[in-house]
Amino acid sequence: MIGFTLRAQRPPEPRRVNDDVVERFEHVLEVAPEKMTEHVQQQDIPAWDTHRIVGGRWDHLDWMHDHWADSVLSTGIEPEIAELGEPMPSEERS
Amino acid sequence: MTATATALGDGVLDELRGILGGDEYVLPDLPARVNRTRVPAPFPVHRWGEFLPDVAVLPRTTEQVSEVVKLANRHGIPIVPRAGGTGLADGAVPLRGGIVVDVKLMNRILDIDLVDRTVTVQTGINMLTLNRELKAHGVIYPDDPASYPCSIVGGRIGTSGWSLIGGRYGHTRDLVISMELVLPTGEVIEVGDGGGRKVRKSSTGFQLKHLFMGHQGTLGIATEATLELVPRPEVEFAAFFAFSDYGTAWEATGALAKSGLATLAGVVLFDEWKLAYLRRDDEAYIPQPPTVRAVIASAMYGARDEVEPASRRLMRIAKETGGKYLGDEISQGDWASRHDRYATPLHGRLKDGQVVPMCWHCEDASIPYSQLPAVREKWHAIAKRYIDRYGIFDDWGMFAYTNAAYKPWGDYLTEIDIGIWEQELDEESWRGWVQCKREIAEVALEHGGSITACHGATRAGDVELVPQEMGGGFEVMKKIKAALDPNNVMNPGKYLLDQAYEGENGREAVR
């Protein structure tokens, strides 16, 4: 029989990122479970399957780089986000 | 002769089988027709049956397409060309049934000419597939829509598509050198810039190539195309920058676009609503703090000796105009995903934050750079009104992409992405949606823009404004349509072109 049980590799408890998003694995972001209760149910996915899906996505992006150019030029510069100050006064979002 | 039949008889189907050489190329079964009814753009799913074709056919040669079109004229049957079916207008959606000519089996590479730098293909080929073959030759066909892995050359011609890297390499109309075309009467012609399939610039005769770009299947079916080849880039460079407010980012966008750096392929401005959407629901999630309220994406392609110094200058301009670098990982990863936006699983939020499956409406317009801030405010205000009223829409934010060919300044492909909970649509909410779309398009015209940069303006909510935007040019469109398609068989009902058969022509609309 082919199949799996969630018990075989249960993912870790999520870390809250913000009101809408949680994170179980580094850089793998999910909709917060309480926001998927009425119209769309969140599925249980074992850890290995999450890693497979995410790995497949990175493979695809790597492939896309290779598809468009012989190499990718990097800056080596660290992200500078911490240098941004306070946000401007908030505009009302719909 | 006009078409009056509501379904095709066995005689017509047998004729089609004879033309196409077998049952497997003539598909009257319901699944084949249902799958060729809609495109990814919002669709009145509660009225799906109104848009079903009567049959789909899969030709493999220009001659077969020509014979199918001649048959349609003999019997007065509508013809609707369909390529990838990835368009965001409704060019491939049958309005009056008839024969869908699906060109996906016309997918051969006919000639790779590395001396004159062209590749000639049948129009059913996909660009990604083509470029996999071209890689071995050190060249690339740089037409790069958001649907790059799944859209098809023929559809790119039919919509006059826009390319993500068009600021460097041009857009579809610039990259198609010439094409073979089946006219609405079944005649086969070649059109280009003058004559000669591999000539890029000519002053002979009318410039017919542009006439057959972006007609949404109303003027014929392109069956072969000779395309531009450019050297495969040695280097790609992508850089994303964060800003704490939209106004500063808008000014920086202009500074980058006007930099004069020849390898700059495109600049993209994400607004605050777009950042909010990326934070909550997009697979390309950019995990940035609330201080980030606008992002600029930029990319360069070319020889390493050009791109390396140009990238340093680009970084300097971005820094001087207030941008904060997001780092190599996010820049490179997100840019790669821009080639493939159709892979995104679509969901959105109701006002209470609950997730629902949504389809994607991308309202596109060409907007002068100077008008972007004002248009942005008006578009979001319109979207909010309809979200509040109907509760099945979601504002996914706005992008502004450099829109000109070979020079990334001037006007911008400006889009607002709106999620629609399609399963909840009924006639009232559908009409509300169309009105929302119309108001968005009206703003584009008020600000000196065009109501579409790349999708086409055939859909309800857009098409009513085409005569306003085109002015006297719309009368010319009607005369051309009536002259080339005397029986109104080629994608009838699109672009208000039934008007070409009213009045002194005394013709009824097909069906």
In a domain, A11, yes or no: yes
How do residues B192-243 score in pLDDT, each as one tens digit? 999 999 999 999 999 999 999 999 999 999 999 999 999 999 999 999 999 9
CA neighbor of B272 nearest in space, from A88, A30, A17, A20: A88
Is residue B6 predicted with pLDDT exceeding 50?
no
**Could you report the predicted ipTM of this complex, rounded to two decimals?**
0.91
DSSP letters spanning B265-312: EEEEEE-HHHHHHHHHT-TT-----TT--EEEEEEEEE-HHHHHHHHH
CATH 3.30.465.10 domain locations along chain B: 109-231
Q: Which of B272, B332, B355 lies at the smallest CB-CB distance from A65? A: B332
* Residue-range definition of the domain harbouring residue A49: 7-66
Q: Which residues of chain B lie closer than 8 angstroms to A40, CB-CB?
A: 347, 355-357
pLDDT at B336 over 80: yes
Tell me the pLDDT tens digit for each residue of B18-37. 999 999 999 999 999 999 99
* B462, B449 contact by CB (below 8 A): no
Question: Considering the domain B235-462 in this protein, what is its CATH number?
Answer: 3.40.462.40
Question: What is the average pLDDT across A1-26?
Answer: 81
pLDDT band at B443 (very low <50, low <70, confident <90, very high): very high
Name the token pair of B45. Answer: 């799913």
Q: What is the pLDDT of residue A7?
A: 72
To the nearest whole Å, the CA of A12 is away from the closest chain B CA by 20
Nearest CB among A40, A57, A83 relative to B356 is that of: A40
The whole-angstrom separation of Cα B324 and Cα B291 is 11
In a domain, A58, yes or no: yes
On whether residue A79 sits in a domain, the answer given is: no
CA dist B210 and B222 (Å) reads 13
Would residue A14 count as lying in a domain? yes
CA gap B289, B326 in Å, rounded: 11
Other C-beta atoms within 10 Å of B326: how many?
23
Q: Do B325 and A76 touch (CB under 8 A)?
A: no
Does the distance separating the beta carbons of B291 and A86 come in below 8 Å? yes
Which of the two residues, B346 and A68, has the higher pLDDT score? A68
How far apart are the C-alpha atoms of A94 and B387, rounded to whole Å? 8
What is the sign of the dihedral through the CA atoms of B7, B9, B12 and B16? positive
Non-local (6+) Cβ contacts of B486 within 8 A are: B184, B185
Q: Which residues of B touch A17 (CB under 8 A)?
A: 287
**Among the partner residues A60, A72, A81, nearest to B288 by beta-carbon distance:** A81
Whether A82 maps to a domain, the answer reads no
Is there a contact between B119 and B225 (Cβ–Cβ < 8 Å)? no
Tell me if residue B141 falls in helix, strand or coil.
coil
Taking CB atoms and an 8 Å limit, are A40 and B272 in contact across chains? no
**pLDDT of residue A94 exceeding 70:** no
Asked if B281 lies within 8 A of A40 by C-beta distance, the reply is no
- Residue B156 CB coordination number (10 Å): 32
**Model confidence at B63: pLDDT above 60:** yes
How many distinct structural domains can be found in chain A?
1
Listed in order, the ranges of chain B carrying CATH 3.40.462.40 are: 235-462
Give the class (CATH, top level) of B10-102: alpha beta
Contact between residue B365 and residue B236 where contact means Cβ atoms under 8 Å apart:
no
What span, in angstroms and rounded, lies between the C-alpha atoms of B486 and A57?
50
Output the CATH code of domain B109-231: 3.30.465.10
Distance, in Å, from the CA atom of A36 to the CA atom of A52, rounded to the nearest integer, reads: 23
Distance (Å) from the alpha carbon of A49 to chain B's nearest alpha carbon:
16
DSSP H stretches of helix in B339-465: 372-390, 427-446
Flag whether pLDDT at B5 surpasses 60: no
Determine the average pLDDT of the residues in B426-444.
Answer: 97
The DSSP bridge partners found for residue B299 are B238, B266
- Cα dihedral: B129, B135, B140, B143 (round 10): 20
Would you say residue A12 lies in a domain? yes
Residue B288: per-residue pLDDT = 76
Q: Cβ contact (<8 Å) for B355 and A84?
A: no
Name the pTM for this structure: 0.93
Length of chain B equals 511
Is the separation of the CB atoms in B232 and A69 below 8 Å?
yes
Compare CB distances from B380 to A61, A72, A94 and report the shortest one's residue: A94
Using an 8 Å CB-CB cutoff, list chain A residues near B327: 77-80
Q: How many CB atoms lie within 10 A of CB B241?
A: 27
Average pLDDT over residues B330-351: 87
Provide the percentage of residues in chain B whose pLDDT is more than 90: 87
Q: B501 pLDDT exceeds 50?
A: yes
> ∠ at Cα B126 (B121, B129), nearest 5°?
90
Sign of CA dihedral B288, B294, B299, B304: negative
Report the pLDDT value the prediction gives residue B281, as an integer from 0 to 100.
Answer: 82
Mean of pLDDT values over B142-158? 96
Q: Which of A40-44, B57-61, B300-304, B384-388 has the lowest mean pLDDT?
A: A40-44
The pLDDT, as a whole number, for residue A3 is 59
Which span out of A42-46, A80-84, B500-504 was modeled with the highest average pLDDT? A42-46
Whether B125 has a pLDDT exceeding 90, the answer reads yes
Lowest mean pLDDT, pick from A45-59, A74-88, B300-314, B319-333: A74-88
Residues in Cβ contact with B245 at an 8 Å cutoff, skipping those fewer than 6 apart: A87, A88, B293, B294
pLDDT-derived band at B4, boundaries 50, 70, 90: very low
Mean pLDDT confidence for B41-53: 92
